[in-house]
Structure 1
């Protein structure tokens, strides 16, 4: 697009925001036209839509769309494309939960639409959606070291599946500020190895700055390790309202640059290209 060329020539390009939600997940607000307008106002090259994918058996929980609502989701994407015109690229994805035995269903979902990318995420350890404020009290009763061990093992398994283009909020497990003592590299290293070996990219997710942990996902140390391992990167807002699109991106960009990143990744029909991180 001409607008992309202009931005690149003037070194004003902002990263794409691929991790955003819709009201179909039951905890987001806004219309597609509002999200598109916010993305344009933020100076983004691309706005990606990636709401919480269905899970089986249904109803799985109360914070995702149902399979029967997939046509509504596709209509949302089409409305966004119509609103965007030639002013910004619209990319289509889903945020898919990694749950034991989910592979066949995610394979089905991957064929439901001409996706640009799929995001994988870990919100569940067994039946516990550990980042849900509804269950916050359970954290005070758990062995935090054991929870972190299980979380990072699960995250590595997700990376090893090869099903996803982007791996979401790597250290989401820290959301409520429960973390083990000592050097956390013992948790990070196996996950970094699995991600590097299987080719997914990670995101710097700025939503963590507005959670109890008050830190982007993942921590700066994890970003450094990812860069050293040659893992690609995107910057994401995890927006659940139009005003959150591209929120805190300048800060995230500086985090990435401090870790040694000089480029971000763009996705189109599940193929990726690199773009300089200005």
Structure 2
């Protein structure tokens, strides 16, 4: 059973291809399940499209859902198309997002922290001139947001939980117990983290999260799932077999996906 729950398409402004292109890529790459999970609009903004190159417009959201549901029906029996979304998490706007999502039949929602302290987690310059203490504070702020997203009850999956290292590989070496504390909370909440293979396309050159985090996740009973985070169709299912093999080496015996917000367990 091969699945990929994290894919994007042209609506977000920084991916290429239509939703159909990603579904067809899933079939070509031997997937039985593909989740469509483009970036959520900035629902708390007064603008229709707050960040044109980052997320879809609010006016596109219902059309996005309608298109996924049509493809789900069209491809039934060939591949299981799941309705998802990758949602930003802003604690101050959580209820705005929750009310919006409650209106639609999502199979799952991925909660991802892309902004921490008001700055993109992928901004290399955010680390310039920081003392070691300040670097620890930045890492702890990031994981506090991830922990809050886990406890919000809004999400079935947490996205790329160490993506702050994407363009700053030294992030992994910043010592703090915040990662363990966050993983413990995720385990208590009974939701999953993804192994996201898009990290290989960034400066860090490897999947999110690193093996050390996956080992601790296993310790805390955290469930895992798979997401390529494909922004072009040819990356759908990228490194699926390699990830499965690595998880087994670490000690995992199963991983999961979600349908109608119910966890489906798949043996490794």
With the length of structure 2 as denominator, give the TM-score of the two structures.
0.91
Shift of 1:82: 5.0
What is aligned with 2:36? 49
**Residues 52, 155 of structure 1: alpha-carbon distance in 2 compared, 3 angstrom cutoff:** same
Shift of 1:126: 2.9
* Correspondent of 2:126 among 138, 151, 155: 138
The within-5 A match list for 1:156-171 is: 156-171=147-162
Give a deviation string over 1:206-234, Cα, whole Å, max 9, x none.
Answer: 00011100110001011111111111110
RMSD of the TM alignment (CA)? 1.8
Structure 1 residue runs without a partner (length 5+): 1-12
For residues 255 and 184 of structure 1, the distance between their equivalents in structure 2, rounded to whole angstroms, comes to 25
- Is 1:221–2:212 an aligned residue pair? yes
What is aligned with 2:250? 259
Q: Secondary structure at the match of 1:179?
A: helix
* Correspondent of 2:25 among 38, 43, 46: 38
For residues 236 and 266 of structure 1, the distance between their equivalents in structure 2, rounded to whole angstroms, comes to 10
**Residues 234, 181 of structure 1: alpha-carbon distance in 2 compared, 3 angstrom cutoff:** closer
Contact 1:148 1:179 in 2 (8 A): no
Q: Secondary structure at the match of 2:180?
A: helix
Shift of 1:130: 2.2
For residues 156 and 181 of structure 1, the distance between their equivalents in structure 2, rounded to whole angstroms, comes to 18
For residues 220 and 95 of structure 2, the distance between their equivalents in structure 1, rounded to whole angstroms, comes to 30
Shift of 1:185: 6.1
Shift of 1:180: 4.8
* Correspondent of 2:144 among 137, 153, 157: 153
For residues 103 and 122 of structure 1, the distance between their equivalents in structure 2, rounded to whole angstroms, comes to 12
* Correspondent of 1:25 among 6, 12, 19: 12
Contact 2:164 2:171 in 1 (8 A): no
Contact 1:144 1:179 in 2 (8 A): no
What is aligned with 1:3? none
What is aligned with 2:88? 97
What is aligned with 2:51? 61
For residues 52 and 65 of structure 1, the distance between their equivalents in structure 2, rounded to whole angstroms, comes to 7
Give a deviation string over 1:58-87, Cα, whole Å, max 9, x none.
Answer: 343231112111122123313532552411
Q: Secondary structure at the match of 1:102?
A: helix
For residues 72 and 197 of structure 1, the distance between their equivalents in structure 2, rounded to whole angstroms, comes to 35
**Residues 271, 144 of structure 1: alpha-carbon distance in 2 compared, 3 angstrom cutoff:** same
Q: Secondary structure at the match of 2:91?
A: coil
User: Quick check: 71-80 or 25-34, which moved more?
Assistant: 71-80
Number of equivalent positions: 261
Structure 2 residue runs without a partner (length 5+): none
Q: Secondary structure at the match of 2:92?
A: coil
Shift of 1:46: 0.4
Shift of 1:179: 2.8
Q: Secondary structure at the match of 1:96?
A: strand
For residues 18 and 145 of structure 2, the distance between their equivalents in structure 1, rounded to whole angstroms, comes to 34
With the length of structure 1 as denominator, give the TM-score of the two structures.
0.88
User: Quick check: 142-151 or 60-69, which moved more?
Assistant: 142-151
